[in-house]
Amino acid sequence: MHTARTNPLNTLAMHGALILYTLIALFPVFVILINSFKTRKAIFREPLSLPTADSFSMIGYQTVMKQGDFFLYFQNSMIVTVASLFFILLFGAMAAFALSEYRFRGNMLMGLYLALGIMIPIRIGTVAILEMMVATGLVNSLLALILVYTAQGLPLAVFILSEFMRQVSDDLKNAGRIDGLTEYTIFFKLVLPLVRPAMATVAVFNMIPIWNDLWFPLILAPAEEVKTLTLGSQVFIGQFVTDWNAVLSALSMAILPVLILYVIFSRQLIRGITSGAVK
Amino acid sequence: MTALTLKGINKSFGTVHVLKDIDLEVEEGEFVVFVGPSGCGKSTLLRVISGLEDASSGEITIDGKVVNATPPAKRGIAMVFQSYALYPHLNVRGNMSLALKQERRSKAEIEERVAEASRMLNLTDYLDRFPSELSGGQRQRVAIGRAIVRQPKLFLFDEPLSNLDAALRMNTRLEISKLHRTLSASMIYVTHDQTEAMTLADKIVLLRDGRVEQVGSPMELYNNPANQFVAGFLGAPSMNFLPASTLNEGDNRTLGIRPEDLTLDPEGPLSGKVSHIENLGGDTNLIVDTEGSELTVRLFGQHPIDVGDQIRVSAQQNKQFFFDQDGRRVA
Ligand SMILES: Nc1ncnc2c1ncn2[C@@H]1O[C@H](COP(=O)(O)OP(=O)(O)OP(=O)(O)O)[C@@H](O)[C@H]1O
Ligand SMILES: [Mg+2]
């Protein structure tokens, strides 16, 4: 067993496979990045070549900066994504704790009801949601988006987190109760840190669809001052002409924050897995 | 004064009736051990006493106060769990002082109590370590320390030693026993290890299927079991049971005889073939096939007997127990 682990050939094969996969996964991103720095002609003539002195151009980025309020869109997307993730994790974890920890009438039914949302896409309810938002005067506000995304993310979050919380040792929670901790302290201080890997998983799963979503921003918040990045970039994609330089530049910039958030969460994920709970 | 009184405790989980009419008194300073087979409700009873579960009916009195509606932290108890249940995010000092901080004790008092407990348990050098940096035995001592600092009226232990290896278990057992003497607090201790029960207890409560089978000092239960279950549960190797008719013609009772009360005797009334031998050095255990039943014979010292030998044994007259068809002791 020891030799199998340290066998250099095995290690090489393993790393080779992983590097190959990384290359495949990163290739589209790479193509977007290099093309965002090229002239329109160069993009179409040689899409896979690196920008040269001839073909180098910042025209895409310049268009993006001039057109519309790019930084505002950026900020809107960020606010919506981070706030939605925060509420999904907070409410999802609290609901999961209640379902896994307390025996009460209808516990099972409640769990099933909450899990139902996994199977029914929230977009089916778009018309009703729009009507509600109009009635409450929330259209064209970021809050509308945050509420919808939170609702969209909760079912899976509750489902995953309650599974993990069931595995947290009962003795630990009971020790806390005997020491006089409140249920909230037990939840925040004892249980949450132990399910951190699961929280990171839920966050990563939810983050990208929210960041990339076009549907709800288009319907619920199309106004200029609340446009998200994805919606804002759409001005460059026309029915007849598409400004590819601008689209590629906008995409390149849009990748960055997701990347940063992802790095933050995956750190948590790895730390959670390696630290190991104390028996 | 009694430290704990249970009156008619019942507990059901849905339709499952787990604890049935339990009455019990624990005197001040007494060491009480709950023993019984797995699933008989020992842990559940402990959790009912601690307040982690509500009793379905019955009255729990701790130190003269009815505590049925009192939350666990206010019952004046402390509990040590089988899985240690240390807080992973706090170091040893933090683990021990958390409960006192919750009670809003002064800094000086907390420090003093933690220092005293860690001195008692030889944990002084480990106060700044985190639970993940401790060995199993050290973790269990921290768990015990966490209970001591609260100076409870009643300690509750739920199989605190079952995750430790044999040598450590013996050490920690002695330590708990010493602790009981120095603190002179009342303790309730759950185990299914009968050595722990016999060596630690002032009083053993033997449970089966959620009912109390017998309560008494270890020697009372050993020498004077109320029924066949108690007789068979205590003592290792456990008591031999055989139809009394093998000794007295026409007797339909069951005869119980402990392995150490059987002796080799060429004239003995019981004969059989040795089917297995356990040489322990100080003791020798023989498993003997007699017609119809298997006998365990425990001999002192070492004996030149081989598997397959035919032997005869006799049973000491005044060490025989008789049980009726329902397992009740009749003589
Ligand atoms: N939360 C619960 N819901 C339903 N049944 C339960 C629950 N907790 C315990 N029981 C049942 O109660 C019975 C007693 O359990 P308990 O944990 O008290 O046994 P125990 O004597 O401590 O056993 P062990 O020696 O294995 O720890 C078991 O049959 C168990 O299945
Ligand atoms: Mg138990």
CATH of the domain at A181: 1.10.3720.10
Angle, CA B24 vertex, CA B22 and CA B26 arms, to 5°: 150
Residue of B13, B161, B233 to mutate, ligand 1, most atoms within 8 A of C-beta: B13
Same domain assignment for residues A12 and A117: no
With H, G, I as helix, E, B as strand and everything else as coil, classify residue A216.
helix
Tell me if A63 is assigned to some domain: no
- What average pLDDT does range B39-61 have in this prediction? 94
| Contacting residues of A for B85, CB less than 8 Å apart | 169, 171-172, 174-175
For a pLDDT cut of 90, what percent of chain B falls above it?
Answer: 71
Asked if pLDDT for residue B83 goes beyond 50, the answer is: yes
Tell me if B249 is assigned to some domain: yes
Q: Which phi and psi (to 5°) does residue A181 adopt?
A: -75, 145
Mutate to test the interface with B, among A105, A174, A177, A178 (most CBs of B within 10 A): A178
| Contacting residues of A for B160, CB less than 8 Å apart | none
Tell me if B24 is assigned to some domain: yes
The pLDDT value given to residue A275: 52
Q: How confident is the model at residue B231 (pLDDT cuts 50, 70, 90)?
A: very high
Same domain assignment for residues B169 and B303: no
Q: Which residues surround ligand 2, an ion (CB under 5 A)?
A: B 43
As a whole number of angstroms, the distance between CA B312 and CA B307 comes to: 14
Residue A231 corresponds to which tokens in the numbers above? 């919606």
Residue of B18, B157, B189, B193 to mutate, ligand 1, most atoms within 8 A of C-beta: B18
As a whole number of angstroms, the distance between CA A132 and CA A144 comes to: 10
The pLDDT value given to residue A3: 52
B81 interfaces chain A, CB cutoff of 8 Å:
yes
pTM of the complete model: 0.81
Distances (CA, A) of B211 to B16, B17, B36: 14, 11, 10
Q: What is the separation of C-alpha B108 from the centre of its chain, rounded to a whole number of angstroms?
A: 37
The pLDDT value given to residue A276: 47
The pLDDT value given to residue A55: 82
B113 interfaces chain A, CB cutoff of 8 Å:
no
Strand positions, DSSP E, chain B: 2-13, 16-27, 31-35, 57-62, 65-66, 77-80, 154-158, 186-190, 203-208, 211-216, 240-243, 254-257, 262-264, 270-279, 283-289, 294-300, 310-315, 321-323
List all residues 6 or more positions away from B16 whose beta carbon is below 8 Å from its beta carbon. Answer: none
Domain boundary among B185, B201, B231: B231
As a whole number of angstroms, the distance between CA A243 and CA B160 comes to: 71
List all residues 6 or more positions away from B216 whose beta carbon is below 8 Å from its beta carbon. Answer: B203, B204, B224
Residue nearest to atom 30 of ligand 1 (CA): B39
Contact B86 A180 (CB under 8 A): no
Contact A180 B103 (CB under 8 A): yes
The answer to whether B108 and B58 have CB atoms below 8 angstroms apart is no
As a whole number of angstroms, the distance between CA A57 and CA A254 comes to: 19
Same domain assignment for residues B100 and B216: yes
Helix A244-275, helix A70-101: angle, nearest 10: 30
Residue in chain A lying closest to B133 (CA)? A278
Same domain assignment for residues A40 and A73: no
A209 interfaces chain B, CB cutoff of 8 Å:
no
Q: How confident is the model at residue B163 (pLDDT cuts 50, 70, 90)?
A: confident
Domain boundary among B231, B265, B287: B231
Asked if pLDDT for residue B198 goes beyond 50, the answer is: yes
Asked if pLDDT for residue B169 goes beyond 60, the answer is: yes
| Residue-number span of the structural domain to which A31 is assigned | 1-57
Same domain assignment for residues B95 and B213: yes
Residue B331 corresponds to which tokens in the numbers above? 């003589």
Type of residue at B309: D
The answer to whether B254 and B228 have CB atoms below 8 angstroms apart is yes
Neighbour order of strands in the sheet with B262-264: B262-264, B310-315, B270-279, B283-289, B294-300
| CATH code of the domain in which B283 resides | 2.40.50.140
Query: Tens of pLDDT along chain A (279 residues)?
Result: 455 556 888 889 999 999 999 999 989 888 988 888 888 888 888 888 888 888 888 888 888 888 778 888 889 999 999 999 999 999 999 999 999 999 888 988 999 998 888 888 899 999 999 999 999 999 999 999 999 999 999 999 999 999 999 989 999 999 999 999 999 999 999 999 888 888 988 998 898 899 989 999 999 999 988 999 888 888 787 777 778 888 888 888 888 878 888 888 777 776 655 554 443
Q: What is the separation of C-alpha A277 from the centre of its chain, rounded to a whole number of angstroms?
A: 26
Same domain assignment for residues A140 and A197: yes
- Surface of A (157-176) touching B: CB under 8 A: 169, 171-172, 174-176
Smallest Cα distance from A213 to chain B, Å: 38
| CATH code of the domain in which B137 resides | 3.40.50.300
A104 interfaces chain B, CB cutoff of 8 Å:
no
- What average pLDDT does range B56-83 have in this prediction? 93
Residue in chain B lying closest to A169 (CA)? B85
Cα-atom radius of gyration of chain A, to the nearest Å?
Answer: 23
CA dihedral A90, A92, A94, A100 (to 10 degrees): -150
Residue A104 corresponds to which tokens in the numbers above? 């009460």
Same domain assignment for residues A99 and A51: no
The answer to whether B147 and A179 have CB atoms below 8 angstroms apart is no
| Contacting residues of B for A171, CB less than 8 Å apart | 81-85
Residue B55 corresponds to which tokens in the numbers above? 């009793």
Lining residues, ligand 1, CB within 6 Å:
B 13, 16, 18, 36, 38-44, 192
Each residue's pLDDT tens digit, B250-300: 788 899 999 999 999 888 888 899 999 999 989 999 999 987 788 999 999
The answer to whether B201 and B32 have CB atoms below 8 angstroms apart is yes
Domain boundary among A15, A31, A57: A57
Which-ligand-closest: CA of B22?
Answer: 1
Average per-residue pLDDT in chain B? 92
Same domain assignment for residues A154 and A126: yes
| Contacting residues of B for A172, CB less than 8 Å apart | 83, 85, 87
Nearest Cβ partner for A189 among B73, B89, B146:
B89
Total domains in chain B come to: 2
